[in-house]
Amino acid sequence: MSQPSGPRSGRPRPGPFSAFLHSFTFAGQGVWHAVRTQRNMRVHVAAAIAAVTAGAVLGISAVQWACVTLAIGMVLVAETFNTVIEAMIDLQTQQFHPLAKIAKDGAAGAVLIASIAAAGVAIAVFLPRLLR
């Protein structure tokens, strides 16, 4: 466990810019946790890599890149929030509760909606180029 920082810890508190940069470390740890522990996150990352590769090979336009990038981001954010919601519920209780089921199912449903929307973007961007 790390030592606390601040006026009572004996260690100087980091400056605001240092603290800002350090916050990226925590964010990266959150992303890495989701990738490392969540099978579906790894599936989404693989799909994102495939989409980026397809975009590069097919030479999609800047607007199409923007659409693909937003779709990828939307799915990864939804999956990360799903992971957070599940962890928060599991922290609260390991027993079945109907509200916990609603929260977990709703978070998973949000990922499903985001994934379907991303598939729609992929069809709109990639299919016409593949059919030529």
pLDDT band with cut points at 50, 70 and 90 for residue 10: low
Give per-residue pLDDT as tens, 78-132: 999 999 999 999 999 989 999 999 999 999 999 999 999 999 999 999 999 999 8
Question: Which amino acid is it at 39?
Answer: R
Average pLDDT for 17-33: 91
Would residue 79 show up in a list of annotated catalytic residues for this protein? Answer: yes
- Do residues 79 and 40 make contact, with C-beta atoms less than 8 angstroms apart? yes
Task: Let me know: does 110 contact 78? Beta carbons within 8 Å.
Answer: yes
Averaged pLDDT, 37-46: 97
What is the residue whose two structure tokens read 């336009």?
61
Give this prediction's pTM: 0.83
Q: Which of 21, 23, 4, 1 is nearest to 13 (CA)?
A: 4
| pLDDT at 7 > cutoff 60 | no
Model confidence at 5, in pLDDT bands (50, 70, 90)? Answer: low
Of 55, 72, 79, 122, which one is the catalytic site residue? Answer: 79
Q: Where are the alpha helices (DSSP H) in the chain?
A: 16-37, 39-58, 62-92, 98-131
